[in-house]
């Protein structure tokens, strides 16, 4: 699976959009981009995933560049409860759900 | 609500004893489950892949005789930490993928403390 690179930490003001970048320059054509987050002492929570097109759900939007070498997770109106570690993971459809976690981005939403 | 449930959420055991952690998929059949461990301030580390009806596949460096995994049904996988030592104290997390593998769900995690 392709390696992903994320900033170690980010801050965001409450109510503003949080834009979390992820680089995956070696991603292959059959690898999806998945985003999970982990709030302290809990299991990871699924946020969103995509292959080529931008995706949006009730939690977030995922913007994938045309060359698929990077993506951005957008939390449109961050709240204090969005403070967590966010993981961007590339996963191919023949891996059966075997997610390999990097270090992620620690997002701190501040009042 | 949760679609993958772990039990117990917290357990304390004495050094040298064994402890079992259960992972259940609540509303889908999970042909494959995964076990992770996580130390404080660190990311999740994949320990093993559990396939229903067959032997688990362990990641490099994970002792299969120490971390016994059983996936006897399509909704249940268990992780048994045998002869536990204080260094086995950690947060253990399972995940499950089923018919719609595109979304993989995680359990709430189980804190193990070995004293």
Measured distance CA(B7)–CA(A19) in Å, rounded: 35
Task: Kindly tell me if the per-residue pLDDT of B97 is higher than 90.
Answer: no
Buried b (16+ CB within 10 A) or exposed e, A19-35: ebebbbeebeeebbbbb
A55-108 tens-digit pLDDT: 999 999 999 999 999 999 999 999 999 999 999 999 987 777 889 999 999 999
**Pairwise CB contact (< 8 Å): B104 & A46:** yes
Residues of A in contact with B49 (CB under 8 A): 96, 98
Task: Kindly tell me if the per-residue pLDDT of B1 is higher than 60.
Answer: no
Instruction: Identify the pLDDT of residue B27.
Output: 83
Best of A40, A62, A97, A98 to mutate (most B CBs within 10 Å, chain B): A97
Measured distance CA(A93)–CA(B33) in Å, rounded: 16
A30-44 tens-digit pLDDT: 999 999 999 988 999
Q: How confident is the model over A20-30, as a mean pLDDT? A: 94
């Amino acid at each position: 699976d392709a390696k992903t690179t994320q900033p170690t930490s980010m801050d965001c003001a409450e109510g503003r959009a949080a834009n979390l970048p992820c680089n995956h320059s070696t991603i292959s054509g059959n690898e999806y981009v998945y985003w999970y987050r982990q709030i302290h002492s809990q299991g990871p929570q699924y946020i969103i995933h995509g292959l080529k097109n931008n995706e949006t759900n009730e939690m977030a939007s995922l913007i994938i560049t045309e060359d698929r070498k990077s993506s951005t997770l957008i939390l449109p109106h961050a709240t204090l409860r969005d403070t967590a570690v966010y993981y961007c993971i590339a996963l191919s459809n023949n891996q059966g759900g075997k997610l390999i976690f990097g270090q992620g981005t620690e997002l701190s939403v501040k009042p | 609500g949760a679609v993958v449930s772990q039990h117990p959420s917290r357990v304390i055991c004495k050094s040298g004893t064994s402890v079992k952690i259960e992972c259940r998929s609540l509303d889908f059949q999970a042909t494959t489950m995964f076990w992770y461990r996580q130390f404080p301030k660190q990311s999740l580390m994949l320990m093993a892949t559990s396939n229903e009806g067959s032997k688990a596949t362990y990641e490099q460096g994970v002792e299969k005789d120490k971390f016994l995994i059983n996936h006897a049904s399509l909704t249940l996988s268990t992780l048994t930490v045998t002869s536990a030592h204080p260094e086995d104290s950690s947060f253990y997390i399972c995940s499950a993928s089923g018919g719609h593998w595109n979304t993989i769900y995680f359990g709430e995690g189980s804190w193990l403390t070995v004293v």
